[in-house]
């Protein structure tokens, strides 16, 4: 277990070092409360803007990764690995007075200067921040046994209720029952990279079960390179053409 955790940390740290500013254009989704702007940044990092409030999810890559993006009003962090929890990047951002929604394991690793800003959620915990209802969801590897990269209860996926839309951010997980049982998801970000999360086939199967209206494959670089997101899209749409699979550029061109 310790070796796997070290390898995952090293992988995340190496990834953070090569990130650059966002390489993908933003998307806009209409909601009952106004437009929701989705800005892919890189790997597991993204920004959401709603009602002039900006949410950063797993900010990594330094301040330059967010060039052209408004400063954060809220930050969500899913897990302790370096491609999700990057204290160096946090230190480059204007986070004065900004709430950080995190699991306990992340809180334990953050510098003391952030302690008064933390909203600590366990799996299934809820909090209202910036007018957005946030539910922390489980994210973990299967089978949930000793030695896995992501044990159940350590990290959080997140379900955000934004206007009349429900946004699911999977974090590092496999196609767990808690994902498959989700209902009425308008927008989903689903990870798929081996050996850390799940493969394309499992991700497609899980998505076909909970049927989000729109899904972004993200967090899809593993030890063997990029996952085949085109195959993911084809598998999903072969069985359900109503699910819109949006393929964005999450990784800078070399």
pLDDT tens column, 96-155? 999 999 999 999 999 999 999 999 999 999 999 999 999 999 999 999 998 899 999 999
pLDDT at 14: 42
pTM: 0.91
The per-residue b/e assignment along 137-151, b for 16 or more CB within 10 angstroms, e otherwise, is: bbbbbeeeeeebbbb
Q: Which CATH superfamily is domain 2-245 in?
A: Ribonuclease Z/Hydroxyacylglutathione hydrolase-like (3.60.15.10)
pLDDT at 254: 61
Which H or E run includes 56?
strand 53-57
- pLDDT-derived band at 21 (thresholds 50, 70, 90) equals low
Mean pLDDT of 158-174: 98
How many Å apart are CA 208 and CA 56, to the nearest integer? 27
pLDDT at 6: 44
Distances from the Cα of 115 to the Cα of 35, 75, 108, 110, 111, angstroms: 32, 14, 9, 8, 7
| All structural domains of the chain with their residue ranges | 2-245
């Amino acid at each position: 277990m310790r070796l796997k955790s070290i390898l995952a940390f090293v992988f995340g740290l190496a990834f953070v070092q090569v990130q650059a500013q966002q390489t993908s254009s933003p998307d806009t989704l209409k909601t009952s409360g106004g437009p929701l702007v989705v800005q892919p940044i890189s790997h597991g990092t993204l920004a959401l803007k709603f009602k002039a409030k900006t949410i950063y999810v797993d900010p990594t890559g330094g301040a330059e990764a967010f060039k052209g993006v408004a400063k954060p009003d809220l930050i969500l962090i899913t897990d302790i690995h370096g491609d999700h929890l990057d204290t160096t990047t946090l230190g480059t951002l204007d986070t004065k007075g900004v709430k950080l929604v995190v699991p306990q394991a992340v809180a334990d690793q953050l510098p003391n200067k952030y302690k008064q800003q933390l909203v600590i959620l366990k799996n299934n915990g809820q909090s209202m921040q910036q007018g957005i209802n946030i539910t922390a969801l489980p994210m973990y590897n299967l089978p949930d046994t000793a030695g896995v990269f992501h044990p159940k209860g350590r990290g959080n996926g997140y379900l955000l209720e934004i206007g009349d839309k429900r946004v699911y951010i999977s974090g590092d997980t496999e196609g767990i029952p808690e994902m498959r049982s989700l209902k009425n998801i308008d927008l989903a970000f689903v990870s798929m990279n081996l050996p850390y999360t799940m493969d394309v086939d499992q991700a497609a199967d899980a998505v076909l079960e909970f049927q989000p209206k729109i899904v972004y494959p993200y967090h899809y670089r593993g030890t063997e390179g990029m996952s085949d997101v085109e195959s993911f899209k084809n598998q999903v749409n072969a069985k359900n053409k109503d699910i819109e699979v949006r393929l964005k550029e999450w990784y800078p061109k070399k």
